[in-house]
Structure 1
Amino acid sequence: MEIGTTEATTVALKNVLEQICQIRGWKYGEIWVPDQDVLRCHPAVYMDTSEIAEFRRFSEEFTFRAGAGLPGRVWMFQEAEWIENVSEQPAIYYRSHLAKSAGLKAAVGIPIIESGEVKAVLIFYSDQIQPADEQLIAALKDQIQSLIFHSI
């Protein structure tokens, strides 16, 4: 499975992000895909409010190497990662100043893995500080895998 940027794939992935965000109460969802040695922001996005649009616009300009930032760590370690409050973690979350301006707090990154390789990293954000929730992470992984593999 390759996660391309065709219109059909982008629409399908937007629907996946929207379903997960609305069911779980996330305010923003984004996808990062490998492009050689960096992750790039995929065009598919979900925002529940226009106040997040500037965060999105700046995020589209970012790339992450393996191990760098939340997307890069999820990519490198092939494991989900939760940050309680991204707006207060500039050392580990490189867009913290942008997240703070957008009112984003908790974030969870989930890898999409196929044949031992990360095909994408999905990241969801809340406007509330939230401690890590392993049961929620497990449920998200299952839900994402099911929706992604049935959508594209």
Structure 2
Amino acid sequence: MSEVMTTTAETFIQVSEIWVPEGGMLVHKSGSYGGLAEFEAASRSESFGKGEGLPGKAWAEGRPVVLKEFDGSYFKRTEAAKEAGLTAAVAIPVFAGDVLKAVLVILCGDDAIRTGAIELWSQENDLLMLQDGYYGAARHFEWVSQHTHFPKGQGLPGGVWAAKAPILMRDLGTGYAFIRAESAGRAGLTTGLGLPVPGPDGVTRVLTLLSARGTPIARRFEIWTVSPARNAAGPDGTLIDGICEREGPLAPKHNPPVDALRTGAWHGPVGQVLGTGMPHVQAGPAGLPAGYRLFVALPVYRGAELAFIVAWYL
């Protein structure tokens, strides 16, 4: 099988960046900008106070924030974003207990081609309701989602709620477990990643990333569970689920040998998250599996302890 990954010119997410607290502000740590040099330069020189701009708002509210248009909003880089063709963004804060570790911001462009979904579901009484979401060109799927709710254990959001763990769901358009399968199939959505996003207020929230084949969020998804540190080297990670366009399933008893299912702190890109407890964005093929050029990983905490890492590759 060829080691060259088939790529498309369009992806659903165009920019991924990490902001970290430093001296009472959020400062730029790293990012992947896909050749949008002027927006990258504007971002690297920026910083945000609590409640300021999109990263600062996610920090202040203690939850993911979806911003579907920049004009007239609190977004601070509107002109640079407009020049780059970026029109929407989602900020995802990472909390260890009450402590903010970082904010991952992902930015998208809105056109007639890009299809996918980034959704935030929030508990209201005994149901998860759609709090907000960005869907690109998937307008019908957006309408269906706005009129859908999930009890614990049902669908992808409800499954994450019940398991208190990330879940990867395949074949969204045909899978019986995906409640919105018919509209997902019409939109071309194929793979869903759901993860809990705990915040200081204790409200149950679930973030879902839904990827389409034509304009993918990613071509490879992974979920790692974290074992507590047994020595000074730090915690270990074990791959518990994964899927790749090229290789198929990546879970245990499938393609990789057993020793490829574990990694330690500081070893490879997943190991960077194990070592730091922070989100990680890596642009460029160095250190990634052959055929990939971008890696994004998000840690998931239970209380103050790192419990899972979700990662996606392009």
Normalised to the residue count of structure 1, the TM-score between the two structures is: 0.69
How many angstroms does 1:140 deviate by?
Answer: 2.9
Within 2, Cα distance between the matches of 1:110 and 1:26?
20
Tell me which of 98, 101, 115 is aligned to 2:183: 98
Kept in 1, the 8 Å contact 2:172–2:189? The answer is: yes
How many angstroms does 1:116 deviate by?
Answer: 10
Please give the residue correspondences for 1:61-76 in structure 2 after superposition, counting only pairs within 5 Å: 61-76=147-162
Question: Does 1:140 find its partner at 2:298?
Answer: yes
Tell me which of 2, 13, 16 is aligned to 2:90: 16
Question: Does 1:40 find its partner at 2:132?
Answer: no
Please give the residue correspondences for 1:75-114 in structure 2 after superposition, counting only pairs within 5 Å: 75-90=161-176, 92-114=177-199
Superposed CA RMSD: 3.4
The letter of the residue matching 2:173 is S
1:94–1:17: structure 2 CA closer, same or farther, 3 Å change rule?
farther
Give the fraction of aligned pairs with identical amino acids, expressed as a percent. Answer: 24
1:71 match: secondary structure: helix
The residue aligned with 1:5 is none
Within 1, Cα distance between the matches of 2:203 and 2:298?
16
1:36–1:122: structure 2 CA closer, same or farther, 3 Å change rule?
same
1:27–1:77: structure 2 CA closer, same or farther, 3 Å change rule?
same
Within 1, Cα distance between the matches of 2:201 and 2:65?
23
How many angstroms does 1:27 deviate by?
Answer: 2.4
Kept in 2, the 8 Å contact 1:32–1:71? The answer is: yes
Give the number of the structure whose alpha-carbon radius of gyration is greater.
2
Tell me which of 118, 121, 134 is aligned to 2:206: 121
1:75–1:26: structure 2 CA closer, same or farther, 3 Å change rule?
farther
Q: Which is richer in helix?
A: 1
- Higher relative contact order, structure no. (Cα contacts within 8 Å, ≥ 6 residues apart): 1
The residue aligned with 2:117 is 28
2:204 match: secondary structure: strand
Within 1, Cα distance between the matches of 2:64 and 2:174?
32
- Unaligned segments of structure 2, at least 5 residues: 1-59, 68-88, 93-104, 109-113, 225-241, 243-269, 274-296, 301-314
1:124–1:31: structure 2 CA closer, same or farther, 3 Å change rule?
same
- Unaligned segments of structure 1, at least 5 residues: 1-7, 143-152
How many angstroms does 1:119 deviate by?
Answer: 2.6
Kept in 2, the 8 Å contact 1:112–1:118? The answer is: no
Normalised to the residue count of structure 2, the TM-score between the two structures is: 0.36
Within 1, Cα distance between the matches of 2:128 and 2:119?
12
Within 2, Cα distance between the matches of 1:57 and 1:141?
30
Within 2, Cα distance between the matches of 1:11 and 1:78?
17
Count how many residue pairs are aligned between Structure 1 and Structure 2. 129
Kept in 2, the 8 Å contact 1:17–1:30? The answer is: no
Deviation per CA, 1:94-137: give whole Å up to 9, x if none.
11111001111111001112479553101011113966522689
The letter of the residue matching 2:90 is V
How many angstroms does 1:39 deviate by?
Answer: 0.5
